[in-house]
Amino acid sequence: MGMEIERKFRLDSVNLLKGLMQEGLRVSETSLCQVYTRIDKEGQERIRSTGSAFIKTQKRGKGLAREEIEEEVSAQAYHEAFACAIGNPIEKKRYSFKLQSYEACIDVFEGALSGLVLLEVEFDTLEHAYDFTLPAFEGAVEVTEDERYKNHMLAVQGIPLETVDLNLLFHQASQRELDMALFRASMSSYDGFRVIFTELYAKIEFHKTAYLETKENEQLHQFRVNIRKTRSLLQSVPELFDAGIAERFIKGFKTIATQTNTKRDLDVFGEFLATLATTQAIALHVEASRTSEDQKISEALTQGYYNSFLLEWKMVLEDEEGFFKGKQGNLGYRTLSALALKIRLETLARKLKKLTESKPLEAFHKVRIEFKRLRYLLEYCESQFPSKTLKQTIKKVKMMQETFGLLQDRDVQMEVLDAIEAHPPLASDVEVVAALEALRGVLGNDIYAFRLRILCKKKKLITQLTACVSPLERYLQDL
């Protein structure tokens, strides 16, 4: 067992390294890649590739001096470590040299930490470390006692918060051009999700205006999608906002979404009819109903309630002081994302497990909603987690959700058929009644097939969903 004694400094660029090399300093270059397999309150364990060897290191302690145990391992052990890695791999180029007779290095990070440059100086004793004075290197700031700059924290939390330009993110969000790659795991969840909600708000307003001007179905569809995403994220991210605030807006966005449901159902039914040979009377009735719903939606979206509700929501999103912040708002963005994903995965697996042949369609529809909530959450959180298991499961989730969506559409279309048949002019038309019965047969067959497909695949999917939970728990150890 040895003792690691080092001081660490953050550099604002690689200019110092370039300058030292131009002055003739002898520098050796090494490419390093390391993954962490254990991070807890006692310490950390990592496996590093140096290009010529694979070293497992265990560290205990914090700050200036830490206990360190090293041993060489096989290439196989190194590659197997990626399967249970915590956080992102640490990739960097290390430039080693002597600084005032001490071993020193400049690490230029790559991959997920690209842009970060750190200078480390190693010492034999604590006295030497305390007595050391760094030359007047421009742009160097000591971060020895800042836990955020420890490699294991960089793996889990990413580049520390000061590298996040919130003004830029909010500007991007207002322009509907948010770059999730600029998010950092260590930024506060309150700030991170306010940025996301701001982009969704901008999209809602944009597509509302476009729909009112053009009456295009796609504009209404995008309006609905962003309303649903907003409501779903509010339901999925625990205690980000004050409970009363969250509940108010969850209910409000549901009210708005509900006003567009009938139009959406008629649109989907119209597309379904276009694939079949049916009577013109049915098609005309559906088209007339769609036009009527367009008018109702336009009236609703121009009334005072909608505008005042969205203005209130905008006020919440502009809260920089944390007035509306909930208990979890101070957590790091990745930490709260991991907690939210864990809850969604466990809830979906539990509800999926209860589905059987005897369950009514309503039970299937509730599971479909859980799939949507998970997908919306993953859209904004997936990039924070390098888990291969999670990425593989995402593909399965998307395919299964599509099947659930088709099942929901067929069930709704059955209800549309009932409404058409109840319409007096059509109910007495023999040709129409016959066509409706034929359509019921097609829909019934589809419903049976989709239910069967879901039940056949659910066991394997449950296993995959459950396997995703463990990697996420590594990010929640301090909660």
Catalytic residue selected from 36, 190, 211, 376 = 36
- Residue 36 annotated to the active site: yes
**Amino acid (one-letter) located at 79:** H
Number of other CB atoms surrounding residue 251 within 10 Å:
10
The pair of three-digit structure tokens given for residue 171, joined into one six-digit string: 């500007």
* DSSP secondary structure, 309-366, as one string: HHHHHHHHHT--S-TTB-TTTTSBHHHHHHHHHHHHHHHHHHHHHT--TTS-HHHHHH
Return the biggest CA–CA distance within the chain.
99
* DSSP secondary structure, 155-201, as one string: HHH-S-GGG--HHHHHHHHHTT---GGG--TTSBHHHHHHHHHHHHH
Q: How far is CA 62 from CA 41, 120, 417, in A?
A: 10, 15, 68
- Which residues are registered as beta bridge partners of 120? 8, 105
* DSSP secondary structure, 392-458, as one string: HHHHHHHHHHHHHHHHHHHHHHHHHHHHHHTSHHHHT-HHHHHHHHHHHHHHHHHHHHHHHHHHHHH
CB-based contacts of 411-417 (< 8 A; 24+ apart in sequence): 411/361, 411/365, 411/447, 412/265, 412/268, 412/269, 413/265, 413/268, 413/269, 413/272, 413/439, 413/443, 414/440, 414/443, 414/444, 414/447, 415/265, 416/265, 416/266, 416/269, 416/286, 417/443
Selection from 134, 180, 109, 150 nearest residue 334 by Cα: 180
Burial 68-99 (b: 16+ CB within 10 A, else e): beeeeeeeeebeebeeebbbbbbbbebbebeb
Cα separation, 85 vs 411, whole angstroms: 43
| Beta strands 65-72 and 86-99, pairing class | unpaired
DSSP H or E segment with residue 118: strand 117-122
Residues belonging to the active site: 36
